[in-house]
Every structure is written in C-alpha cells, then in structure tokens.
Amino acid sequence: MQYTLHQLQIFLKITQTMSITKAAEELHLTQPAVSIQLKNLQDQFEIPLTEVIGRQLYVTDFGAEIAVAAEKILAEVHAINYKTQAYKGQLTGRLKLSVVSTGKYVIPYFLSDFLKQHQGIELVLDVTNKARVIESLEKNEVDFSLVSVLPDKLMVDATELMQNKLYLVGGKDTESSKGSTHHILEQLPIIYREEGSGTRHTMERYLSAHNLKVRKKMELTSNEAVKQAVIAGLGYAIMPLIGIKNELINGEVKIIPVKGLPLNSVWKMIWLKSKAFSPVAAAFLLHLQKEKTRIIHEKFSWFEQYVAQLEA
C-alpha cells in the first residue's frame, strides 16, 4: 500500500465532518481535490471506507477503524516534528484555544507576537459560540478559552485581558439623539444572536433586569451576519464595539446613545482549575500576563479613545 499522510489527513477530516464539502472548507482545499484524494485512498482497499445513501455520506465500520489508525499515525508524525524542533532548542507543541465568535476581533493580537517568537508551535483555534466554547473547555479539549461571560457551573481560573462594551447600533440612516432611555429598545425591531451566544446572554440579562419587552426581528448565528443585517437596515442590535470599528469609520452603522448602555464586561482567558499545563500552554499564559498591557496600548488605543469620546 502507498497511501500518503496527506490522504490520511483528508480522510480523517471527512470522518470528523461527515461531509466532503465541510472537510474541504476546513482544510482550505477544493471539493474536487478532497474527492480525488478520498478515491486514491479507497483504491488501496478492497473494503469500502465510506458510502453515500441519498446525498448523505456515511463512514463504514471498516472506515471508522482506518480513521482511528490514521489519527494515531498523524499524532506520531506531529510528535516527531515537535521532538526534532525541541532538539533545536525551540518551544514546540500544540496550543489549543476555543474563542467565542466576537473574540475573533481580539485574540489574534494576543497571539501574534507569541507565535512569531516560537515558530515550532502549532495553533489550533476554534471560533464558535459561548455554549460550544464552554463545552470544549469542560471536556478538556482545549488549553484555554476566551469568553466575556464566565461559566456558571465550571471551576475555572482566569486572567483578564481587556474590557468589552456593547452598544445599541443602527444603520447609517438611523436618527438618534442623546437622552434616550432603555425603553427605546421596546420600540425598535431588535436583531438577536443565536441561543448560546455570550452577546445574547448579556443582552437578555439586561432586558430581564429592566423588565423590557422587546420585539425580536430575527435571529442570526454570527456577529458578522448581525452586522450586515443592521447595515442593510433590517433592524437594530446590541453589539460589541470591538467588532464594528471599520463600519463606524466608514459610516455604515451608528451607535445610538441610550441611558444605561453600554453593557460592560471583560474579555477573560479562562482554563480549568485542575488543568496541567503543557510547556506551550504555560509559556502562552506567561506571555499574556507579561505583555497584555503593552498589546492593549499598541493595538487597541482606538477602542479606549472611542469609548472616552462616547462617554464624554
């Protein structure tokens, strides 16, 4: 048999996603390229690895066993690479993070210098909603998670990174004036994030505390989708300032001043209290604690200035 590591990597991703299309997206390959590599791997076995019923792809029992073997082989290859780099005096290994979707505007800046300094580190980054982030942490699938709302039933330690402020946002044609009370939220069509979103959790907690009855215009599954809906004039949303910088500069959205807003929270990097850090995870935490003030000053000065302007 002459199967390649590339074929095993693709097949493993197919078994994880149960879809050639999704596997191609996650591997940043074309769908035909993934299909060809699956066929080339299949040609080396007399027993089917997968089968298609209707339009759904299924992994056979034999294919599932090959996937387990492929995962072990690829893990050993990673280990060889890490050991080679370690002998060269480099910090090596995987750094695994899960990040709430709005955290994608924050986390790259806290990773950039660290990864440049330690090029033997492989980053595994999952950007998803709060519910999935907490699930991955609870299952010990990641080293750290970035959240703005701490989990209720999970024992974690945390280091604070920077403030997170959520404002009421409308499209460019929005007319607003200072002095509006929170009751304005009952008069507007509000666009919600999906269940499990940290932004939605913070917003609903605020609405409940003030006994506000809000008309839900629609529910969307990402901050980007909400932003585009607001730009299109489909409604209003409570959104984190960190995620609308360019749209504010370009005049595509406006912040509507409301007494009682912004909603304030803090981005936190959290980890399980019982977590035994790898050398890579320990080095990253030290980097955060030493460098976060400098990073915030260099990369997020616009945020501090904009907040000061809004609150003036």
- Phi and psi of 162, rounded to 5°? -155, 165
Which of these three, 27, 58, 87, is where a domain ends? Answer: 87
Do residue 251 and residue 276 come from a single domain? no
Do residue 241 and residue 292 come from a single domain? no
Find how far residue 250's CA is from the centre of its chain. Answer: 25
Average pLDDT of the chain to the nearest whole number: 88
Give the pLDDT confidence of 271-285 residue by residue, as tens digits: 999 888 888 899 999
- Please check whether residue 20 is in contact with residue 34, taking contact to mean a CB–CB distance below 8 angstroms: yes
Do residue 25 and residue 109 come from a single domain? no
Do residue 12 and residue 31 come from a single domain? yes
Do residue 131 and residue 186 come from a single domain? no
The pLDDT score that the predictor gives to residue 231 is 94
Do residue 148 and residue 12 come from a single domain? no
How many domains, in total, are found in the chain? Answer: 3
Structural domain boundaries enclosing 272: 93-162+267-311
Which of these three, 34, 68, 87, is where a domain ends? Answer: 87
Do residue 157 and residue 285 come from a single domain? yes
Do residue 139 and residue 173 come from a single domain? no
Q: What is the pTM of this model?
A: 0.69
Q: What gap in Å lies between CA 130 and CA 214, rounded to an integer?
A: 22
Do residue 258 and residue 271 come from a single domain? no
CA dihedral in degrees (133, 135, 141, 143; nearest 10)?
50
Do residue 145 and residue 104 come from a single domain? yes
CATH number, residue 76: 1.10.10.10
Do residue 191 and residue 210 come from a single domain? yes
Give the pLDDT confidence of 5-47 residue by residue, as tens digits: 899 989 999 998 899 988 888 888 898 999 999 999 999 999 9
**Where is pLDDT greater, at 65 or 308?**
65
Q: What gap in Å lies between CA 255 and CA 305, rounded to an integer?
A: 15
